[in-house]
Structure 1
Amino acid sequence: MADIRHALMIKYGLGRQPTQAESDIWFVEVEKLKRQGVSSEEAGRRAAQAQLPGFKSKIYASEGDTVETLLLRVRDK
Structure 2
Amino acid sequence: MTNTGPRPLTEPADPRGTAAPGVSRGQVLRTLLWTVLVAGAVANTVASFVGADAKVHLVCGAVTAVCGGILIVGRLRRPR
Q: TM-score, normalised by structure 2?
A: 0.30
Compare CA radii of gyration and give the structure with the larger one: 2
Higher helix content, 1 or 2: 2
Q: TM-score by structure 1 length? A: 0.31
